[in-house]
Structure 1
Amino acid sequence: MPEYDDAATERWVDEPPKRVPAPERTPFERDRARVVHAAASRRLAAKTQVVGPQSDDFVRNRLTHSLEVAQVARDLARALGCEPDLVETAALAHDLGHPPFGHNGERVLAEAAAECGGFEGNAQTLRLLTRLEAKTFSVDGRSVGLNLTRATLDACTKYPWLIADAELPTGVHADGSPRVVRKFGVYDDDWPVFDWMRSGVEGRRQCVEAQVMDLADDVAYSVHDVEDGIVAGRIDLTTLDVAAVEEAVRGWYLPDASADALAVGLAGLRSVGSWPVRPYDGSRRGLAALKNLTSDLIGRFCASAQAATFASYPGPLLRHRADLVVPEESLVEMAILKGIAAHYVMQADDRVRAMARQRELLAELVEALVAAGPSVLERPFADDWATATDDASRRRVLIDQVAALTDASAAAWHDRLV
């Protein structure tokens, strides 16, 4: 294991040695196991990535996306020399806080939680890892969630600041929903653990492991959304409407991108040896060719970042000693892939209508829970309600409950309560 100090491997609540002998594991291997076995991880299988997980057997959900991000992140971490288990754990955990219907649902909960500190998927992830997941309790009987190491929690934190310090949102998410939620990583009432986690760190800088996780997420969804769109019959890479794709790139991701930069980026993508020369036909050979393309694109982006980072930092690439360097060319190429998915998939009329209905359903569910009170909550959240000291704290409990639901269970709760 790379040389992480005692502060990096410290846990918020000290844990005695296990009484039952077990295979020797590093602190970061233990962290990974805790995230894998968390209830929130299982729920990701029934939460929307881009389209609903019930819509197609092939389409990715939040769990399969997280597994793919974890694989990309682990390989990149190993190549860079930071701890693979730590970075993989951050990747497995990075979407745990997403509510039903992904960023579309996040938008609704942010509005519903305006009076209790807002809602944001990454801040909810920290809350899950340090409070809501059942694993460890402090001596005063307070849940401290999975009680992960300081370095792992820091690697899970994409936005290490409060909502008050967050910038105004612009653009859109990868799933096509507009960015209306401020990006931040901690709620006010979770500040104590955040303050402990960031001990000794100045400012808003991500640790390098979080940067690796963040790039792996960006690489995975830019490539895989196109793959899903091709298999669904919505995208044909051999007959792209280049002008429409460029418009989507500028409108959604890179507003200042020049025509020359986008032309060079598309030429770079088309130079990849596995870029298709004939339409996808659904055959095994066609699927194999598509898989080779996704593999080559992921390798292209990761190799580019690795080379640029090594050229800038001699190492070691640990925690706050370095920054990941992603070349501008790679950022443009990934934005073009996102633009392809945006034009052909995200803006489809049927998907836009479905997203509107999802927002309506979730907003109605929140109001039904407000009216019903604690009697309909699951036991852990009913217990939290009982110990809440004011209306804002009780509203937060309701938001926690809704955020924990899957797409299907949110619909079922809506049917039952509304």
Structure 2
Amino acid sequence: MHEETSRQERRSAGQDTPDLAASPYRADRDRIASSPFFARLGGVTQVISPGGSGLLLHNRLTHSLKVAQVARAIAERLAAKPEVAATVDKFGGCDPDVVEAASLAHDLGHPPFGHLGEQILDRVARNRFGLADGFEGNAQSFRIVTTTDVRGPGGVGMDLTVAVRAAILKYPWTRLSHPDPHPSTMAQPPRGAAEPSDAPGSGSAKFSAYVTELDDFVQARAPFLGRVDDWQQTVEASVMDTADDIAYAIHDVEDFHRVGVLQHATVAAELGTWLTEALALAELSDAELAAQSRRPGRSLEALRRRLHAKDSWIVDDDAFAAAVARVRAELVDGLLAVPFDGSAEAEQTVAGFFSRWSTRLVEGVEVLLNPTTRSGHVVLAAAQWHEVAVLKFVHRRFVLLRPDLALHQRGQARLLTKLVDALDQWMSDRHEADRLPRRLHDLVELADTEYRALARTAPHVLAGPAGEPPTGTDAVRALARGRAVVDFVASLTDGQAAALLDALSGRTGQLWTESFVL
């Protein structure tokens, strides 16, 4: 499969490509790793802002490196089993270099302040600028590698191989229109394809391409036609997705143990209470469970019920109980039993926890011939799948729902909203338009070209489900300005976003000398 695609590897065929690596997939990996969009991830939030945390917390860069490490390990293990490798080849193959490159690229589009920034930019893009696509971090990553990064030989995007571009597509559909029929209309939509409950009619909650990159999307998926369904990930994308889940589940728990946020007593009470009272908790009605939500064990019981509702294809009560018991033994009675004090012994304990869990989860990876719509061809075995669910629960329940984190996030949300407002006002000031940052000006011209072409050839994709396509030059230009502002803000680090707003608000006397833009 990959031999076949390598003949049409680069869109700019015939151009000299001064890459250090001879393999096109390793050249892709090198291009991604040398991109300024990749470097900026060192200043972008994973869960909380990396500023001032030193070496204690993962950021998007270190997260991406660990995802690449895990993904390559999975791909090499699949290749080492002849019967599994033969099955994988039927679906298009699984090259370790491809999954490593895709893993390095998968978070390139994450904006300042991580998932919070993603939510804010999506709301602004749809409600303020009228962009039917809104904003989505995965789609922004694909836009970067195909369009806005200019370091590829063709000067547009990174000029990556079709295999790597396809492997980046974790959610292989656009928000509203492609493919047809759209996976959001399926009886059991794939993960992420359903629309968010708080935004009916807005399209899929997760998607991996904007309509402006639809030609790149179609080209990347073309070699896999007939091998995987339109809505299915390629095997390499499935490996990257699984590796992302594994890394996220382990190292976020590790992070918050290091900084003392994950407390032994509260986690022990939640897991221990559920294990001793599971039968009684299962008899509570949903209303009773909700009314008692602050009591230990109740949140974990609510998780068990959500898993049954969403993932009946794999969920099993015995496997869930075993997962809770394992996490209690290794996390609560192991890692959290001794507070992290920065000593060599504490570091070794953390390293051992990460190593044991990484190995266990990677060794639990399986390949399915006929997966459910809720999974890819590459999945975790039932035991490990439940363990990841419990580890992610611990992170959400005891970190993400903390009021002190909410306090910071509300401030970050206001910061991003004000920054978008300030940039939009600057762009609307005809007396100052010629002094826009060159990067922002270039992004406006790029988006204007894209939207004018779509307005001529496929105007329906520029309208939301209840809206009308834009008509007239001014309406199209307004969309372009909105997309440019979103592209611009999404390319900043946390610190750059805050400093840029200070400069635009007159709150700093220092000249704007830092390079805020990629």
1:255 matched to 2:300:
no
The offset of 1:410, in angstroms, is: 0.6
Given that 1:246 and 1:262 are in contact with CA atoms closer than 8 Å, whether structure 2 keeps it comes out as no
Q: Deviations over 1:138-172 (max 9, x none)?
A: 5xxxx43000000000001101101014411369x
Counterpart position of 1:318 = none
2:137 alignment partner, one of 121, 135, 153: 121
Which amino acid in the other structure matches residue 212 of structure 2?
A: D
Counterpart position of 2:479 = 392
TM-score when scaled to structure 1? 0.86
Q: Deviations over 1:78-118 (max 9, x none)?
A: 11123111111111011000010011000111011111221
Distance in 1 (alpha carbons) for counterparts of 2:436 and 2:502: 15
Q: Which moved more, 1:339-348 or 1:112-121?
A: 339-348
TM-score when scaled to structure 2? 0.70
Distance in 2 (alpha carbons) for counterparts of 1:193 and 1:92: 19
- Change over 3 Å in CA distance of 1:267–1:133 after alignment to 2: same
SS at match of 2:9: coil
Distance in 1 (alpha carbons) for counterparts of 2:124 and 2:499: 20
Q: Which moved more, 1:235-244 or 1:108-117?
A: 235-244
Counterpart position of 1:83 = 95
The offset of 1:384, in angstroms, is: 3.0
Q: Deviations over 1:368-395 (max 9, x none)?
A: 1111105564323302324525211221
- Change over 3 Å in CA distance of 1:131–1:397 after alignment to 2: same
Q: How does 1:128-139 map to 2 (within 5 A)?
A: 128-136=144-152, 138=154
Q: Output the aligned Cα RMSD.
A: 2.7
Given that 2:17 and 2:153 are in contact with CA atoms closer than 8 Å, whether structure 1 keeps it comes out as no
Which amino acid in the other structure matches residue 147 of structure 1?
A: D
Counterpart position of 2:261 = 234
The offset of 1:199, in angstroms, is: 1.2
Which amino acid in the other structure matches residue 71 of structure 2?
A: A
1:189 alignment partner, one of 188, 203, 212: 212
1:37 alignment partner, one of 22, 34, 38: 34
Counterpart position of 1:72 = 70
Identity of aligned residues (%): 33
Which amino acid in the other structure matches residue 350 of structure 2?
A: L
The offset of 1:240, in angstroms, is: 1.3
- Change over 3 Å in CA distance of 1:277–1:399 after alignment to 2: closer
Counterpart position of 2:163 = 151
- Change over 3 Å in CA distance of 1:416–1:209 after alignment to 2: same
SS at match of 1:16: coil
Counterpart position of 1:404 = 491
The offset of 1:336, in angstroms, is: 1.0
Gaps of 5+ in 2: 80-93, 177-181, 183-192, 275-294, 309-315, 370-375, 428-432, 453-475, 506-518
The offset of 1:249, in angstroms, is: 4.9
Q: Deviations over 1:298-323 (max 9, x none)?
A: 11111011xx33xx56xxxxxxxx92
- Change over 3 Å in CA distance of 1:11–1:235 after alignment to 2: same
1:265 matched to 2:317:
no
Distance in 2 (alpha carbons) for counterparts of 1:77 and 1:170: 35
The offset of 1:341, in angstroms, is: 1.7
Given that 1:28 and 1:152 are in contact with CA atoms closer than 8 Å, whether structure 2 keeps it comes out as yes
Q: Deviations over 1:323-342 (max 9, x none)?
A: 21322322211111112122
2:104 alignment partner, one of 83, 92, 96: 92
Which amino acid in the other structure matches residue 346 of structure 1?
A: L
Given that 2:44 and 2:114 are in contact with CA atoms closer than 8 Å, whether structure 1 keeps it comes out as yes
The offset of 1:55, in angstroms, is: 3.6
2:113 alignment partner, one of 76, 101, 118: 101
- The count of aligned residue pairs is 391
Q: Deviations over 1:8-33 (max 9, x none)?
A: 5633523336487x766111011001
Q: Kindly name which structure, 1 or 2, has the bigger radius of gyration based on alpha carbons.
A: 2
SS at match of 1:48: coil
Q: Which moved more, 1:340-349 or 1:149-158?
A: 340-349
Which amino acid in the other structure matches residue 135 of structure 2?
A: F
Given that 1:123 and 1:185 are in contact with CA atoms closer than 8 Å, whether structure 2 keeps it comes out as yes
The offset of 1:271, in angstroms, is: 5.7
SS at match of 1:325: strand
Q: How does 1:154-303 map to 2 (within 5 A)?
A: 154-164=166-176, 165=182, 166-169=193-196, 182-200=205-223, 201=225, 202-237=229-264, 240-241=268-269, 242=271, 243=274, 247-249=298-300, 255-256=306-307, 261-270=319-328, 275-276=334-335, 278-282=337-341, 283-303=343-363
The offset of 1:361, in angstroms, is: 0.8
- Change over 3 Å in CA distance of 1:248–1:52 after alignment to 2: farther
Q: Deviations over 1:176-196 (max 9, x none)?
A: xxxx98101111121111111
The offset of 1:414, in angstroms, is: 1.1
- Change over 3 Å in CA distance of 1:9–1:157 after alignment to 2: farther
Distance in 2 (alpha carbons) for counterparts of 1:160 and 1:246: 37
Which amino acid in the other structure matches residue 169 of structure 1?
A: P
Given that 1:155 and 1:209 are in contact with CA atoms closer than 8 Å, whether structure 2 keeps it comes out as yes
Given that 1:69 and 1:220 are in contact with CA atoms closer than 8 Å, whether structure 2 keeps it comes out as yes
SS at match of 2:306: coil
Which amino acid in the other structure matches residue 327 of structure 2?
A: L
SS at match of 2:169: coil
Q: Deviations over 1:175-230 (max 9, x none)?
A: xxxxx981011111211111111115241110011111111110011111111111
Gaps of 5+ in 1: 172-179, 314-321
Which amino acid in the other structure matches residue 38 of structure 1?
A: S
Given that 2:45 and 2:112 are in contact with CA atoms closer than 8 Å, whether structure 1 keeps it comes out as yes
- Change over 3 Å in CA distance of 1:19–1:92 after alignment to 2: closer
Distance in 2 (alpha carbons) for counterparts of 1:250 and 1:98: 32
